[in-house]
Structure 1
C-alpha cells in the first residue's frame, strides 16, 4: 500500500517544478513510510510514497518500462499477480523483480488500459505513456483505494488524498455550497470530493488525460443477471469464493493479522484465515478494540445488544489465534492530538466521532506488530446485514435507507447549523435529488417482483454509496499509521454473485446475512453463529461526553471561525446541560464542532456559500 501523486501540464516545463512535486509527495509520508521517489519529465511528474508489502527490495517506484517510455506509480495490491505474471511471461515479457507493480506495468504494455479488467484486488494507479503523451488514472472496482484529481488549465493534478493535490500552488482550498452539502449529508455523491474543483476517480473507472482534455471510461459496474443456483449451491459457492479470497489476501512478505470484533463478519474472516494458515503450520494473529470498563458497565441499546469482548474471546479460543485486546481509555479517545490526527488523515471533518478515534488508535497499536490486516468491513453491504434492511418502514421510505433508519438523528443535523447556512444549503432538497439520481442508476432484471426490485435497489445503494463512506474511513485511518487493511468481502466476484442472489436467499433462515452465516458456520463457535448483528463499538463512558463538552466550551470561548457554520444558541444550550444527561445526538454534534474547528485550523479553507 502506498500513496501516489502527480502533475501533468502540457505547457509548463515541470522539470523546473521539483519543489512542488516533492511537496505533493511528502504530504503522504504516512501512507508510505518505507521509501520515497519522484519521476519528472517536461510535461509529466509522478510521485510515490511506499509501504513495502510485496518484494521488499524490488518494488521501488516510480517504475519505468524497459525502454523507459512508460512509467507507473501504483497503490494497492493485485492478489492475482502471480497468475498474471505467468501469463505475461508466456507472452514474452521478462521481469526484473517479484513485485505486483511490475506485473501491472507489463500488463499495461500488453493490454493497454484493459489491464484493469485483468486485475483482482484493491488499487489506484497512474500510468504516463510518453509515446502518446497520455496519462491514465485507474481505480479498483469497489473504490477500496482512493484517487482524486483536479483539472487545471493545461492538464491535471492527482493524488491518493486531497492533501497531495492541495499542496500544489495551483489548487485552491475552497469549499462551496455543494461541498458543504456533501459534508453534512452522508450520501456519497459520485465524483464529489467536497473541495471545489476537485473530483474522485469513480470506482471501476479509467480517467484518460491528454492534450484533448479528460475522458472517462467505465470498465466495471454492478449488473443485474439471473441467479440460477439453489440455496445449497449458493451457500457452497459463497464458501468456495471466501476460501479463495482469504487465501489470496493473506499473501504478504511482512507480518499480517486479522481485525476481530466478535461479530459474524470479522469472525468468519478470522476463522478462514486460521484454517488457511494452519495448512502451513502458522498461527493467525488477531486484534480487537475495547474500552476501559466497557464489559463491566455495558448497557444494551437499540443498536448494540451485547458487548463484543466475550464473543471476541470465544472466537480467539475456537480458532486458536494469537490474540490481543487493545483497551482504550476515555482520555485517549478525547485527546485533541488524536482528533487532529484523524481529521488530518481524512482531509475533511466527516468523521464518526469516537469510532474514528478508536479505529485510529487501534490501527496505531496494531502497526507495532503487523503491517497488513484483514478486515470484515463491507459484509453488511454485500449480504444485507444492517437492521434497516429488515425494517418494513425503512424499505418503504423515499430516501437513502441509512438516513431513514436514523431520521431523528439526521434531522438534528440541521438544528446544529447556523440558520443562514441551513437556508442556503437546503439539505433536504439535496438529499432528495441525490436519491433520485442513485435510483436511476440501479440495474433492472426482467420479471422481478416489486419487492425483489426494492431489495435490489437497497443493496445497490449500499454497494455504490454507503460502503464507500466506510471504505474511505478504513483506508484513511489505517494509512495514517502505515497499516494496510485488506477487505475480502469487497472482492468483485463475491459482490457480483451475492448482489444477484434473490433476497429470499439472503435471509432464508429469517436472520440477517443467512448466506454468510451458513457458509462459515462450521468454522465458528456457536455463540457467534447465533449472535445478533452488532455494529462497530462506541464508548459509553460519560467521561468522554464530558470531555467533549469541555472542549467545545473552550472553542466557543476562543471564538473559533468554524463556529460561524453552527447554531450559536443551540450550542450554548447544549453546553449548559449536565454532562451526565448528554444524549447521542448532542454528543455527535459536539464531535462535529470539534472536527470542524480542527479542520479549519489545519487547512484554513475558504467557504463560499
Structure 2
C-alpha cells in the first residue's frame, strides 16, 4: 500500500519542480514510510511513497518500464498479478522484478487503457506514456483506493491519494464548494465526483482519465459497472456452493504478502466469515484483533473471542473507553474533508491495535452492500411491497399527512419511531431510499440554512445525483436499486473512505475480500429471495457459512461499531455543543441560521430530541473549516 501524487500540464509542457512533487508526497508520508521517489519530465512529475508489502526490495517507484517508454506510480494490490505476469510473459513481455507494479506497466504496454479490465484488485495509479505523451489515471472498480484531482491556475492538473497532497501545492485554492456543503449535510461525507473544495474532485470508482498535452481536460470515463438486471437461476444448494467458492477464492487471493498478515475480527457475520475462511486456507494460526468497550451495551468482544476460539486464531483484544472524544482533532486531520461517520474513531483504534503485530489486515467490509445486509434493505424490500398495493396518488396524501404530524420520537422504542417510514412510503421507491440513506432530510437542512446559503446553493439538492443513479440503474426492483446505490455511492463515499484513512494513518494495509468484483457481480445476479428471506438479510451467505460459524454469530442482531456521541454531547462535550452556533469558523461562513442551530443544541441537551448526528456533522465541519483556514 502506498501514496501517490503528481502534476501534469495540459497546455504547455512546462518544467515540473521535483521539490514540489516531493512536498506533495511528504504530506502523505504515513501512507508509505518505507520508501519514496520522484520522477519528472517536461510537463509531468510523478511521486510515490511506499509501504512495502510484496517484493520488499525489488519494486521501487516511480517505476520505469524496461524499454523506458512508460512510468508508473501505483497505490494498491493486484491479486491476480502472478497469472497476468505469466500471460504477459507468454506474449513476449520481460520482467526484472517479482512484484505487481511491473505487471501493470506491461499490461499498459500490451492493452493500453483496456489494461484495467485485466486487473483484479484495489488500485489507484498513474502511467505516463512518453511516446504518446499522455497520462493515464485509473481507480479500481469499487473505489477501495482514493484519487483526488485538482485543476490549477497554471494550466496543470494535480493529483494525489489524499487531499493533503493537493493542499501542499501552493496554487491550490481553498474556496469551499457550497454544493459540497449541501452534500455533506445530507450524507455525512462528500461523494465521489466532488470535494469540499472548489476545483477539486475525486475520480469516481470504476473510472479512468486519459490526459494529453495540448488537449482540454476530458470527463472521466467509466470502465466498470455492476448490473442487477439479470437473475441467476438454480437451486439454493448450487448457488450456495458457487457463493462459497467465490468467498474462498476472494479470501485466499488476499492472503499473499511478504509481511505479517492478519484480520480484524468484530464477531459479526462478515469479519467472522473472512477469519473462518482464512483459518481454513492457512497452515498456521491466523492473527486476529478486536477492540471492546467498557460499556456492556456497546461491547461485542465476547463474540469475537468465541470465533477466535473456534477458528483457533492468535487473537488479541483490547478494551477501550467509549469516551474517546479527545481524538476528535486527530480524526479531522486524518480525513481532511469533513467526515461524519463517528464509527471512524473505533475503526482507527482497531487499526492501531492491528498495526502492533501485522502490516496487512483483512476486513469484512462489503457483504452488507452486496448481499442486502443492512436494516434499511429489509425496510426497502417491505415498503416496496406496500407501494405495489397502493398507488402513488393514495400513498402521498395518506402517508405524507401522517408523517407530517407524527412526532420525531427519538426517545421511544424503535418500533414506535414511525415518522421516517411514513414519509418514505409517501414517496416513490428511490425517494424513500434516499431518505433512509440520508443523515439529514431536506426539511431539516432547509430549516438550518440561512437565506444567503440558499442563494449560493441555488437549485441543487444533494438527493438529485442519487435519485438519477438509482433511476438509471441496471436493475429490476427497488431492492436492486438500493443495493446499486450503496455500491456506487455509499460504499466509496463512506465505508471505504473510513477504512482507507483510518488504516493508512497508521501505515496499515487493509484488504476487503468481500469486495472481490467477481463476488459482487455474482451477488447482484441473485434472486431477491436469496438475499432477503424471513426478515433476514444476507440469507445465502449465512446459509453458506453454517458449516463454519455457530448460529448465534450468524443470526444475532447486527450491531457494528457504536460511538456514544449522544451521551458525549449531553456530558463532556456539552459546552462544545453550545459553541457550535457561534464557533468562529462556522459563524463566519454565514451559511446557517444560528438561532435555529442554538435551538437544535438545546433540544438535544435537554433530552427532548436526539440531534447528536447533526451536531457531530456540524462539529466535524467546524474542525475541517478551521484546518483549512489555519493552513
The alignment's TM-score, normalised by the length of structure 1, stands at 0.88
SS of residue in 2 equivalent to 1:521: coil
Residue 531 (structure 2) pairs with residue 500 (structure 1): no
Partner of 2:194: 192
CA root-mean-square deviation: 2.7
CA distance in 1, matches of 2:279, 2:458: 46
SS of residue in 2 equivalent to 1:522: coil
Residue 442 (structure 2) pairs with residue 414 (structure 1): no
CA distance in 1, matches of 2:74, 2:81: 13
What are the within-5 Å matches in structure 2 for residues 338-357 of structure 1?
A: 338-353=327-342, 355-357=343-345
Partner of 2:371: 383
Asked if structure 1 preserves the Cα contact closer than 8 Å seen for 2:8 and 2:158, the reply is yes
Partner of 1:56: 56
Moved more, 268-277 or 527-536: 527-536
CA distance in 2, matches of 1:29, 1:106: 27
Asked if structure 2 preserves the Cα contact closer than 8 Å seen for 1:388 and 1:401, the reply is no
SS of residue in 1 equivalent to 2:176: strand
Partner of 1:436: 467
Q: Which runs of 5+ in 1 are unaligned?
A: 299-305, 445-451
CA distance in 2, matches of 1:413, 1:322: 48
**Change in CA separation of 1:16 and 1:463 when aligned onto 2, cut-off 3 Å:** closer
Asked if structure 2 preserves the Cα contact closer than 8 Å seen for 1:64 and 1:71, the reply is yes
Partner of 2:539: 514
**Change in CA separation of 1:207 and 1:11 when aligned onto 2, cut-off 3 Å:** closer
CA distance in 2, matches of 1:308, 1:94: 50
Asked if structure 2 preserves the Cα contact closer than 8 Å seen for 1:413 and 1:589, the reply is no
Partner of 1:229: 234
Asked if structure 1 preserves the Cα contact closer than 8 Å seen for 2:31 and 2:507, the reply is yes
Partner of 1:303: none
Residue 502 (structure 2) pairs with residue 471 (structure 1): no
Residue 106 (structure 2) pairs with residue 113 (structure 1): no
**1:496-547 deviation digits (Å, cap 9, x = unpaired):** 1111111022124542110110111111122112212223323379457422
**Change in CA separation of 1:541 and 1:561 when aligned onto 2, cut-off 3 Å:** closer
- CA shift, 1:192, in A, is 1.9
Residue 212 (structure 2) pairs with residue 212 (structure 1): no
**Change in CA separation of 1:369 and 1:413 when aligned onto 2, cut-off 3 Å:** farther
SS of residue in 2 equivalent to 1:117: helix
Residue 313 (structure 2) pairs with residue 324 (structure 1): no
Asked if structure 2 preserves the Cα contact closer than 8 Å seen for 1:31 and 1:479, the reply is yes
What are the within-5 Å matches in structure 2 for residues 90-489 of structure 1?
A: 90-152=90-152, 154-186=155-187, 189-210=191-212, 211-215=214-218, 216-223=220-227, 224-277=229-282, 280=283, 282-292=284-294, 294-295=295-296, 298=297, 307-331=299-323, 333-335=324-326, 338-353=327-342, 355-391=343-379, 392-393=382-383, 396=425, 397-398=427-428, 399=430, 403-405=434-436, 410=441, 413-414=444-445, 417-420=448-451, 423-424=454-455, 430-444=461-475, 452-468=476-492, 469-489=494-514
SS of residue in 1 equivalent to 2:462: helix
**Change in CA separation of 1:100 and 1:183 when aligned onto 2, cut-off 3 Å:** same
Asked if structure 2 preserves the Cα contact closer than 8 Å seen for 1:330 and 1:543, the reply is no
Q: Which runs of 5+ in 2 are unaligned?
A: 384-420
**Change in CA separation of 1:406 and 1:67 when aligned onto 2, cut-off 3 Å:** closer
SS of residue in 2 equivalent to 1:389: helix
What are the within-5 Å matches in structure 2 for residues 13-28 of structure 1?
A: 15=15, 17-28=17-28
- CA shift, 1:593, in A, is 3.1
**Change in CA separation of 1:412 and 1:52 when aligned onto 2, cut-off 3 Å:** farther
CA distance in 1, matches of 2:608, 2:362: 35
Asked if structure 1 preserves the Cα contact closer than 8 Å seen for 2:292 and 2:299, the reply is no
SS of residue in 1 equivalent to 2:478: helix
Residue 629 (structure 2) pairs with residue 601 (structure 1): no
**Change in CA separation of 1:432 and 1:40 when aligned onto 2, cut-off 3 Å:** closer
Q: How many residues align?
A: 581
CA distance in 1, matches of 2:580, 2:474: 47
CA distance in 2, matches of 1:287, 1:128: 40
Partner of 2:405: none
CA distance in 2, matches of 1:135, 1:173: 25
Asked if structure 2 preserves the Cα contact closer than 8 Å seen for 1:560 and 1:597, the reply is yes
What are the within-5 Å matches in structure 2 for residues 60-99 of structure 1?
A: 60-99=60-99
Partner of 1:539: 564
Moved more, 534-543 or 226-235: 534-543
**1:159-195 deviation digits (Å, cap 9, x = unpaired):** 1112212322232111222121122122865512232
SS of residue in 1 equivalent to 2:338: coil
Moved more, 339-348 or 533-542: 533-542
Moved more, 151-160 or 124-133: 151-160
**Change in CA separation of 1:308 and 1:55 when aligned onto 2, cut-off 3 Å:** same
SS of residue in 2 equivalent to 1:477: helix
